[in-house]
Amino acid sequence: MTAGDAETRGMLWGLVGVALFGLTLPFTRLAVAGLDPIFVALGRAVVAAALAAAMLRWHRTPFPGREHWPRLAVAALGVVVGFPIAATIAMTTVPASHGAVVLGLLPIGTALAGTLRGGERPSPAFWLCALAGSAVVTWFALREGGGRFVAADLWLALAVACASIGYAEGAVVSRALGGWQTISWILVLSAPVLLLPVAVLAWRTDPGAAGLSAWIGFAYVSVFSMFVGFFAWYRGLALGGTARVGQIQLLQGFFTLVGAAAFAGERIGLEVVLFCVAVVAIVAIGRRMPVARTAASPR
């Protein structure tokens, strides 16, 4: 596989992951309407860990080497604990469309984390494209969110930091272990720490009082946001590079808005389409900008 083919495949895998992640906030909003936010945040990881353990056993996947444990632990803190808790708490007070305001900064955060932790060196032109795309997404999200920031934005900012670090660390490991193996081990290694608090919260939860929509939301964030989406996402990062593929996150806010419209009845007008076209154009330009990477062969 040539470098160009790997990048193209990485971008496509990344797009699938972002599409699934983009619906996380709308479904989280459904879940926290009837369930404890911390139960939603941690419980989804326990459910996903059970699925991951079954996959690892089915494929008889060998245990990761000790050299990968530190990065797996940091990735777990970021994507299994930090991001879910911060984003879920934010969704108790602001709508999903508002959540796109700060999460629009994920591409910049992911590229920065990839630079610091993944050995990548984006060119100045790449950074200009990343900044331009983030500015467009943030501007649009601010318009949709009423043009103001609220206290929940602090939680969303923390979510950005946690996800960016977790993505970068997981991307490095996925070059050696493979995409789905990486997120599976992250989940399985996190499960023992999460089981007790989730069990206590589950004991205090009245399943019937939560309502069907809340459980549908919980099921989505458990299966797709916490498990299936990462299969595609880490595969994409490993193939195409953290900084470059991470720019596809510029589209995540628009998937979020579409999901919010489908479940909350928010109107999606012509300007949404125009902004999407602008962001896609910026991503396409950024894809052509040089990004130096350390040698690694993804599986």
116-137 pLDDT per residue, tens: 776 667 788 878 888 888 888 8
**Which residues is 133 bridged to in the sheet?**
none
Whole-angstrom distance, CA of residue 12 vs CA of residue 1: 15
Q: Determine which of 59-68, 163-172, 236-245 has the lowest per-residue pLDDT on average.
A: 236-245
E-state strands within 37-179? 121-122
List residues bridging with 292 in a β-sheet: 121
Instruction: Kindly tell me if the per-residue pLDDT of 35 is higher than 90.
Output: yes
d(CA 219, CA 129): 36
Tokens 């490991």, located at residue: 173
Closest by CA to 33, choosing from 197, 199, 266, 218, is: 218
The more confident residue out of 137 and 84 is: 84
| Percent of the chain whose predicted confidence (pLDDT) is above 70 | 92
Domain layout of the chain by residue ranges: 3-292
The per-residue b/e assignment along 130-164, b for 16 or more CB within 10 angstroms, e otherwise, is bebbbebbbebbbebbeeebeebbebbbbbbbbbb
pLDDT at 298: 41
* Highest mean pLDDT (candidates 86-90, 202-206, 239-243): 86-90
Query: Going by C-beta distance under 8 Å and a sequence separation of 6 or more, which residues neighbour residue 5?
Result: none
The answer to whether the CB of 103 falls within 8 A of the CB of 21 is: no
Instruction: Pick left, alpha or beta for residue 270 (phi over 0 → left; psi -120 to 50 → alpha; otherwise beta).
Output: alpha
Residue 249 DSSP symbol? G
Question: 190 vs 110, 183, 194, CA distance in Å?
Answer: 22, 11, 7
The stretch 243-266 carries a mean pLDDT of 82
pLDDT at 3: 66
